[in-house]
Amino acid sequence: MGERRRISSAATQWQHHCKHRHITLSVAVG
């Protein structure tokens, strides 16, 4: 169960990272 939670946390961090990169990319292009 702990392992599953750790994977979920990593996925959340990755999503946040991608979103941040997308925003930065949009600002740079815009």
Q: Compute the Cα dihedral for 8, 9, 13, 19 and give only its sign.
A: positive
Distance, C-alpha 18 to centroid of its chain: 4
**Per-domain residue ranges of the chain:** 1-30
- Output the six-digit token pair for 8: 């979920």
pLDDT at 7: 87
pLDDT at 25: 74
State the Cα–Cα distance between residues 11 and 9, nearest whole angstrom: 5
pLDDT at 9: 92
**Tell me: the pLDDT tens digits for 9-28?**
988 888 877 787 877 778 87
| pLDDT interval class at 1 (50, 70, 90) | low
5-to-2, 9, 15, 27, 29 alpha-carbon distances in Å: 5, 6, 15, 33, 36
Q: Is the pLDDT of residue 30 over 70?
A: no
